[in-house]
Amino acid sequence: MTELFLHQQWLIWLTLLPLGAAVAAFLAPQQARWIGLATALLLPVCALAGILSVTLTHADPITAGGWPTPLGIELRRDGLALVMLAVTALVGFIISCYALGYFPVHDRHYDKVRYFWPLWLFLWGSCNALFVSGDLFNLYVTLELVTLSSVALIALEGGKQALAAALRYLFIGLLGSLSYLLGVGLLYGSYATVDIALLGEMISATRLNHAAMALMVAGLVLKSALFPLHFWLPQAHTMAPAPVSAALSALVVKAAYVILLRLWFEVFPALDTFAVGHLLGLLGSIAIVWGSLMALRQERLKLLIAYSTVAQIGYLYLVFPLAQPETMAAAWTGGVLLMMTHACGKSAMFMVAGTIHHTAGSDRLSRLAGAGGPVGVLAVVFTLAATTIIGLPPSGGFFAKWIFINAALVTGQWWYLPIILSGTLLAAAYIARVLGWAFLDVKRSSYPVIPWVMKWPPLVLSVIALLFGLIAYEPIQIALIGAPVHGSIMVEMTP
Amino acid sequence: MTTPLLYAGGGILLFSIGLHALLIRRHLLRKILAINIMGSGVFMVFIAIGARGTDAVGDPVTQVMVLTGIVVSLCFTAVAIALTIRMHNLTNCTTFATDEESSLD
Amino acid sequence: MSDLILPAILLSSLLPGLIIFTLPEQQVTLRTALNLAGALFKLMLVALLFVRVAERQYAELRLPLLPDIELVLRADALSLLFLTLSALLWLLTTIYAIGYLEGSPNRSRFFGFFSLCVSATTGIALSGDLVTFVIFYEMLTISTYPLVVHRGTPKALAAGRIYLAYTICGGLVLFFATVWLRSIAGPLDFSPGGVVADLDPALYGSLAIIFALLMLSLGVKAALVPLHIWLPSAMVAPAPVSALLHAVAVVKAGAFGIIRVVHDIYGLDFSAAQNLLFPLALLAAFTIIYGSIRALSQNDLKRRLAFSTVSQVSYILLGVAMATPLGTIGGLVHLVHQGLMKITLFFCAGNLAETLGIHKVDEMDGVGRRMPWTMAAFTVGALGMIGLPPLAGFISKWYLGLGSLAAGQPWIILVLIASTLLNAAYFLPVVHRIWFIEPRQDWPSSSLRGGRETTWALLAPPLMTALLVILLGILAGSVGSALYWVELIAAREYGL
């Protein structure tokens, strides 16, 4: 019985189930909510079963459709794929619950409800497919699926600004992925394979390969919105409905980053990455400071959160310069940890912003006045989720920053220290601004009634974000399965 | 200069022309065209790579990739045109409005 | 299995707090029951642990966080000192807060964060290594902010901003110093004699810088001058919060952290040999005098008490910085004694504000006739602060004086004398006003049954703590007193 359970091809179901459900939800719009909810309930189970089947058994590699490898597609089942699937399942489940309240049955904008569920399930399935893809071309296709569904979801509000944001995101997305695809073509030309593992063994430091690396990195940087290519992100994340914003910042931005992480640690090590790594580190540093400063200036909650995402992406790019030989495992783990915890915290924050927008009619910060009072759960959710953005213990953000600072100290790259520390201070400042409004006591004539699915699911997510540092041991152990890096996470300095 | 290299060079050239137009042109339809030209350039590079061998039919894998790429690009073009039409209906405008920041609420 | 008592102590306040967050505002009975049950349960568990630690059975629990970082909970004699204080005062402050906030809005939020705050303090007491300490220390920062701004007025929010600015900056420096120390010294378990003594002498320069950073960052919460600014402005918080902040939670967390770093990370021998403690002693001495002088000119009662706290907490640091057994005893025992005395004073100040609307010292003429019991407790606390024998404050000062002689630093005696005179100068006039000056107008008479001066919930806690101040002074030599326990800690620390 257990054998049967563990040897199911769970990872394939993680892609097939949401894609099938998306089609069903599109064909039966009346039942879309229930199809969505059922899928959202099933997918975490599949993800858990998939993780169990990989960690408990050493089953044969899975190939889609059962075709042998050159023809079929072999799924990646390493730790990075597993933790990203798990985070996607968790965040996706919460977003789905929240969306039940955000898009009520009798909405006057029936189109929104009708198209949200198919598109969202499509996005979810594409993300899952991306995380288990093991070759460069599949990564391209899945990344395009993610972008395509994101574009449609951003346009869901239907206003002219939403349309413009969606179109702009579409152009950016296509530009990025074509640049990436050209790089893939160059690599294929040299080695006649797009398999990440094979490429990693064969690649050598030629000029053409460096050009390919530059094209791919540029494309992925554009898609994951690293400064100065972040210009499209605030608009896109702000214009989308709240559940979509949550998914975009939690999953979609990470999708491009995961590809870059795989390339950097599995394909590029043989190339000369010194200059590119430091360039990415520099841009990341600027992103941290610039994004935080911009967040500090915003008057609207969603824009504030979006700029905070720009800053957090900056931290993710510090991984590349910090991954020196002795700190390789540390930097990689720090990046993965930050990705996981940021996904939980940031999506919870966007949901709070959405609830405030929903009930107060606007997400201006001044509308938050009194939110800490009788509807105080919003303020609590926001505070808890913000701990990981600031990097306060015991959140995952705290330990990620710990790892980064440690790596910077050990590798002697002290110039990243003031960046990380000032980023933390600025984050505390912009969060404190929000809290200042939320705890301001005002007498309201009436208090909004918030559906419970818009209250408690985000709270769950923010509590997980807050406590992630305490429960990170197992996820990190899983992430390190088959990881391309080896060594100690907490490196000690030698005098 | 071999034929495949000529095609590859042509593909890169197309990619650059498309990129230039995407950044310079304001009309949305032109931007969509530009993206398509970029895509064709990339596909040409792939075909050129596949045709390098001595085999008369070329590398089937690159052809499969290009076919997939064309499907993806078709989908994107369709969505982009749909969005452009919606935008034109709403605003009577075929470019990105420059005063988006002013009326956010 | 028996080590599960440590997380149980943590959860005894954390769980009620989390449940209280979800309760609707009107569920007064359930909320009160949860609060009191949690506080009593915690006190019981602490008593159990107390017995075990007295018999030298240390409890320890390790939970892996990252592949090379652990959460370490451990109960040794020093943690028990702080833990007992916080568990006892939490119970009293909870009772007081229930009475104080009766009928006011947002009580679920208040008691939720109140419990989180106490959980964080408990965690600080039980931390077995510096990493765990940092985690709970920062948790305390966050959970206290909503309490400071609880009233939601622009003034409260401004105070909250100042509080956050100081504590977050301090926390950041602490975080950085800890990461740095961890990267050169490896695991940072609290252990007698410290963990850095065996390191390469080439690192001593870095160690000294890290020590300075640690002292500065912990000094923010311990209100070392010039990092004390936030403390007087945080007085805008409701009285139970001020009481808790000053007696156990925030200020003491800083002082406790400094004790831990000096004793159990750097080790007394190492820090004395490297001359790390003398600057600390100087800064503490300066803070003692400065705080007292500023307290003299404060007319707002709570602000006067706040500056008094600035001054009194540095007694603890001064005792630690002497690095002699007697000085350590004086400092540690003051951790408990100051907590009890200061919480008494704040309870009384709260009663005055709540019952009669008195906030200023010059409004207190003859108030002893209207509220004799409250003012009797206040007088005991104030005289204890001055160090009048046989009250608890005297014991602390006596040992501090003896310690300074043993350390061969007689200048500290001068500081103590000066500070005592200043204490008298800012407390005695208040006591004089209370009892010996005719009231300017008639106080509104009590509306309570039997003409009681205020409700039991507001009256009982200060009376209890005042009684403890007297008992801990008179019975200082007997088994079970704070002094007895502290002597035990010092004996273990110095291997006597």
pLDDT tens-digit series, residues A36-53: 999 999 999 999 988 888
Task: Give the number of domains in chain A.
Answer: 1
Kindly state whether B33 is in contact with chain A, defined as any CB-CB distance less than 8 angstroms. Answer: no
Does residue A132 sit within a domain? no
The ipTM estimated for the assembled molecules is: 0.92
CA distance C168 to chain A (A): 7
Q: How far apart are CA C68 and CA C187, in angstroms?
A: 9
Residue A176 pLDDT:
94
Q: How far apart are CA C293 and CA C287, in angstroms?
A: 10
Kindly state whether A181 is in contact with chain B, defined as any CB-CB distance less than 8 angstroms. Answer: yes
Within B2-58, residue ranges assigned H as helices are: 3-24, 28-50
Inter-chain CB proximity B80 and A167 less than 8 Å: yes
> Domain boundaries in chain B?
3-96
Inter-chain CB proximity A163 and B90 less than 8 Å: yes
CA distance A218 to chain B (A): 14
Closest listed residue to residue C85, CA positions, set C51, C138, C122: C122
Minimum-distance CB partner of A436 among C21, C161, C200: C161
Asked whether A194 and A203 are in contact (CB, 8 A), the reply is no
Asked whether B50 and B59 are in contact (CB, 8 A), the reply is yes
Inter-chain CB proximity A163 and B42 less than 8 Å: no
Residue A67 pLDDT:
64
pLDDT digits (tens, 9 = 90+) for C67-112: 888 899 998 888 999 999 999 999 999 999 999 988 788 888 889 8
**Mean per-residue pLDDT over chain A, rounded:** 88
Q: How far apart are CA C271 and CA C264, in angstroms?
A: 11
Q: What is the mean pLDDT of residues A115-127?
A: 95
CA distance A478 to chain C (A): 11
Residue of C nearest to A493 (CA): C184
Residues of C with CB below 8 A from A392's CB? 138-139, 141-142, 171
pLDDT digits (tens, 9 = 90+) for C147-197: 998 888 889 999 999 999 999 999 999 999 999 999 998 889 998 888 888
Count CA atoms within 13 Å of residue C338 on its CB side.
Answer: 29
pLDDT digits (tens, 9 = 90+) for C418-457: 999 999 999 999 999 999 988 877 777 777 766 678 888 8
Residue A416 pLDDT:
95
Residues of C with CB below 8 A from A405's CB? 176, 179-180
Residue A29 pLDDT:
86
Inter-chain CB proximity C142 and A387 less than 8 Å: yes
Among A171-185, A275-289, A362-376, which is the least confidently predicted range?
A362-376
Q: Please state whether at least 3 CB pairs lie below 8 Å between chains C and A.
A: yes
**C105 CB-near residues (< 8 Å, 6+ apart):** A373, A374, A441, C25
Asked whether C447 and C369 are in contact (CB, 8 A), the reply is no
> Over the range C258-296, which residues count as b (16 or more CB within 10 Å of their CB) and which as e?
bbbbbbbbbbbebbbeeebbeebbebbbebbbbbbbbbe
Q: How far apart are CA C495 and CA A226, in angstroms?
A: 57
Residue B103 pLDDT:
40
Q: What is the mean pLDDT of residues C191-217?
A: 90
Best probe of the B interface among A126, A160, A169, by most B CBs < 10 A, is A160
Total Cβ atoms within 10 A of residue C466: 27
Per-residue pLDDT band at C273 (split at 50, 70, 90): confident
Signed CA dihedral, A373, A379, A381, A383: sign only: negative
Residue A348 pLDDT:
94
Which residues is A133 bridged to in the sheet? A75
The subunits that touch chain B, with at least 3 C-beta pairs less than 8 Å apart, are A
Q: How far apart are CA A462 and CA A294, in angstroms?
A: 24
Residue A442 pLDDT:
75
Count CA atoms within 13 Å of residue C425 on its CB side.
Answer: 15
Q: How far apart are CA A469 and CA A473, in angstroms?
A: 8
Best probe of the A interface among C129, C172, C174, by most A CBs < 10 A, is C172
Most confident of A250-264, A448-462, C355-369: A250-264
**The pTM is what?**
0.92
Closest listed residue to residue C131, CA positions, set A322, A399, A407: A399
C325-351 helix and C392-406 helix, angle to the nearest 10 degrees: 150
Residues of A with CB below 8 A from C111's CB? none
User: Residue with structure tokens 């002699």?
Assistant: C324
Minimum-distance CB partner of A170 among B76, B100, B105: B76
Residues of A with CB below 8 A from B76's CB? 144, 148, 170, 174
Asked whether C255 and C125 are in contact (CB, 8 A), the reply is no
Contacts of B22-30 with CB under 8 Å at 24 or more apart are: B22/A171, B22/A175, B26/B95, B26/B96, B27/B94, B27/B95, B28/A167, B28/B80, B28/B84, B28/B87, B28/B94, B28/B95, B28/B96, B29/B81, B29/B84, B29/B94
Inter-chain CB proximity A170 and B83 less than 8 Å: yes
Asked whether residue C1 carries a pLDDT value surpassing 60, the answer given is: no
Inter-chain CB proximity A185 and B49 less than 8 Å: yes
Per-residue pLDDT band at B17 (split at 50, 70, 90): very high
Q: How far is CA C386 from CA A374, C364, C390, in A?
A: 44, 20, 11
Which one has a higher pLDDT value, A72 or C391? C391
Q: What is the percent of chain B where pLDDT is above 90?
A: 53
Inter-chain CB proximity B45 and A185 less than 8 Å: yes
Asked whether residue A393 carries a pLDDT value surpassing 60, the answer given is: yes
Q: How far apart are CA C186 and CA A413, in angstroms?
A: 20
Inter-chain CB proximity C69 and A493 less than 8 Å: no
The subunits that touch chain C, with at least 3 C-beta pairs less than 8 Å apart, are A
User: Residue with structure tokens 């931007």?
Assistant: B31
Minimum-distance CB partner of C71 among A470, A480, A495: A470
Kindly state whether A393 is in contact with chain B, defined as any CB-CB distance less than 8 angstroms. Answer: no
Residue C450 pLDDT:
67
Kindly state whether A353 is in contact with chain B, defined as any CB-CB distance less than 8 angstroms. Answer: no
Inter-chain CB proximity A182 and B83 less than 8 Å: no
Q: What is the percent of chain A where pLDDT is above 90?
A: 56
Q: How far apart are CA A242 and CA A100, in angstroms?
A: 12
Q: How far is CA A431 from CA A354, A374, A426, in A?
A: 17, 20, 9
Inter-chain CB proximity A151 and B79 less than 8 Å: yes
Within C323-443, residue ranges assigned H as helices are: 325-351, 367-370, 372-386, 392-406, 411-436
Q: How far apart are CA A194 and CA A356, in angstroms?
A: 46
Residues of A with CB below 8 A from B52's CB? 189
Identity of the residue numbered A419: I
Within A57-192, residue ranges assigned H as helices are: 79-102, 110-131, 136-154, 160-191
Kindly state whether B25 is in contact with chain A, defined as any CB-CB distance less than 8 angstroms. Answer: no
Total Cβ atoms within 10 A of residue B5: 11
Kindly state whether B101 is in contact with chain A, defined as any CB-CB distance less than 8 angstroms. Answer: no
Residues of C with CB below 8 A from A477's CB? 67
Q: How far apart are CA C317 and CA C331, in angstroms?
A: 7
> Pairing mode, if any, of strands C69-75 and C59-66?
antiparallel
Asked whether residue A66 carries a pLDDT value surpassing 80, the answer given is: no
Q: What is the mean pLDDT of residues A165-188?
A: 93
Inter-chain CB proximity A402 and C109 less than 8 Å: no
Most confident of A484-488, B30-34, C391-395: B30-34
Kindly state whether A170 is in contact with chain B, defined as any CB-CB distance less than 8 angstroms. Answer: yes
From chain B residues 59-78, the ones with a CB under 8 A of any chain A CB are 59, 61-62, 65, 68-69, 72-73, 75-76
Helix or strand holding residue C286 (H, E) = helix C277-296
Does residue A347 sit within a domain? yes
Q: How far apart are CA C73 and CA C54, in angstroms?
A: 18
As a whole number of Å, the end-to-end CA separation of chain B is 59
Asked whether residue C380 carries a pLDDT value surpassing 90, the answer given is: yes
Does residue A427 sit within a domain? yes
What are A110's two structure tokens?
């029936």
Q: How far apart are CA A250 and CA A346, in angstroms?
A: 6
Among A446-455, C370-379, C466-475, which is the least confidently predicted range?
A446-455
Q: What is the percent of chain A where pLDDT is above 70?
A: 91
Residues of C with CB below 8 A from A489's CB? 66-68
Asked whether residue B90 carries a pLDDT value surpassing 70, the answer given is: yes
Residues of B with CB below 8 A from A159's CB? 90
Kindly state whether A171 is in contact with chain B, defined as any CB-CB distance less than 8 angstroms. Answer: yes
3-state secondary structure of C57: coil
Asked whether residue A166 carries a pLDDT value surpassing 80, the answer given is: yes
Residues of A with CB below 8 A from C160's CB? 436, 439
Domain hosting A355: range is 299-495
Which residues is C189 bridged to in the sheet? C129
Total Cβ atoms within 10 A of residue A203: 20
Inter-chain CB proximity A364 and B80 less than 8 Å: no
Q: How far apart are CA C70 and CA A473, in angstroms?
A: 9
pLDDT digits (tens, 9 = 90+) for A361-389: 778 888 777 666 655 677 778 888 888 99
Q: How far is CA A148 from the centre of its chain?
A: 16
Q: How far apart are CA A381 and CA A370, in angstroms?
A: 15
Q: How far apart are CA A254 and CA A261, in angstroms?
A: 10
Burial level of A480, CB count in 10 A (0-12/13-18/19+)?
Answer: buried
Phi-psi map region of C267: left, alpha, beta (phi>0 left; psi -120 to 50 alpha)? left
Q: What is the percent of chain C where pLDDT is above 90?
A: 52
The hierarchical CATH code for the domain B3-96 is: 1.10.287.3510
Residue A375 pLDDT:
56
Q: What is the mean pLDDT of residues A305-326?
A: 94
